[in-house]
């Protein structure tokens, strides 16, 4: 599987506003306090494969990081080597989410 699913910031905001049953996983190396929404769980990118059991195989799972790079690779690795089919990358990451949704967090 070469392609990965991407979700943009507006689509994620809609899912959050509708209170959809999703799992959001923050894969930044260090957990930040700057999230404009509550992440379901924090799994640092370098600890991802040791925490596979914490990742839902039923829900839509959205991976986030600051720019979308680590979350992209997290989705790619889990799809390719662990047979996940329900994963999405937040394209542009948290930084773009905040810009698109006019959120100012300092």
Instruction: Dump pLDDT digits (tens) for 33-75.
Output: 666 677 679 999 999 999 999 999 999 999 999 999 999 999 9
Structural domains of the chain, ranges and CATH numbers in brackets: 5-100 (3.40.250.10)
Overall pTM surpassing 0.85 (yes/no): yes
Q: Which residues pair with 52 in a beta bridge?
A: none
Which one is predicted more confidently, 50 or 30?
50
The C-alpha atoms of residue 64 and residue 69 are separated, in whole angstroms, by 9
- Residues 71 and 78: beta-carbon distance below 8 Å: no
């Amino acid at each position: 599987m070469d392609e990965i699913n991407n979700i943009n910031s507006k689509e994620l905001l809609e899912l959050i506003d509708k209170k959809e049953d999703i799992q959001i996983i923050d894969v930044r190396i260090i957990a930040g306090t700057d999230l404009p929404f509550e992440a379901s769980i924090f799994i640092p990118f370098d600890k991802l494969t040791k925490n596979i059991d914490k990742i839902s195989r039923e829900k839509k799972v959205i991976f986030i990081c600051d720019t979308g790079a680590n979350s992209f690779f997290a989705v790619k690795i889990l799809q390719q080597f662990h047979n996940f089919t329900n994963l999405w990358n937040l394209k542009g990451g948290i930084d773009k989410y905040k810009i698109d949704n006019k959120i100012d967090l300092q």
